[in-house]
Structure 1
Amino acid sequence: MFVQRALATLIDLIVIYLPSLFLVQILAKGQGNSMLNLLAAALFILYNMICESSFSGKTLGKYFAKLKVVSQENSLSEIGQREFTKILYFLPYGGPIFLFISIICYLIKSKFLHDIVGRSEVIATV
């Protein structure tokens, strides 16, 4: 499951985050690099929220990796909590620390930090 999730994330990063970052850098010349990263991350998180609430818990990456997000209530607020937690991974100095904590959570509970906060899990689909 870890490899499938990594693949899904990689697809979403390539298709959505990198173009968003490129576009934001073009439109916001002269701004700080950290702020641009956070803006692109916010766009990426918005994409995740829209896709997971509108397309049966699937982003483009999850669709191709045959995964989907399920949560206890499947409400927009839970999806928001889950996705908002991901912004921590993009913080300039704390991001790597939160990413490390998230990986430790996965090794212990088979859930990443954002899954725990959002009371959700990612499952394989057919």
Structure 2
Amino acid sequence: MTLTTLVSGGSAGMRETAIYAALEQDLARSGVHLGTALILEGLPDGKAATLPPGLDLDIKRIAPGCLCCIGNLTLRVTLNRLLRKPPARLYISIADSTHLAQLRTFLLHPPYDDFLEMTPDLAV
């Protein structure tokens, strides 16, 4: 099962910074970097957070838009490709938390319920 965290709030750069901080904390706590993938909703401001040294991440970017509404097909395709070789950890960063509950429900139902273990959300 892939541990999956939904990340919402703030700008794209703030969400990425929060993800990288969480990864650094996990690494400091366990001393082991788990294979991690990120699905990041586009960067409308064109600024990316600085990737911490020593972390090898599989990063996928999706164009901005509601992932549970207009981006559903894009999210499905991206998730399906990632889950062919499932990472130990997955962060999904979304700009608008309005439909966060719907996105969580989508990920808790088949086929994703067999692959993803949802963890508490990370709000920025």
Same fold? TM cut 0.5 = no
Highest CA radius of gyration, 1 or 2? Answer: 1
Q: Shorter-chain TM-score: what band?
A: 0.3 to 0.5
TM-score, length-scaled by structure 2:
0.35
Structure with greater helix share of residues: 1
TM-score, length-scaled by structure 1:
0.35
The higher relative CO (CA closer than 8 Å, separation ≥ 6) is in 2
Structure with greater strand share of residues: 2
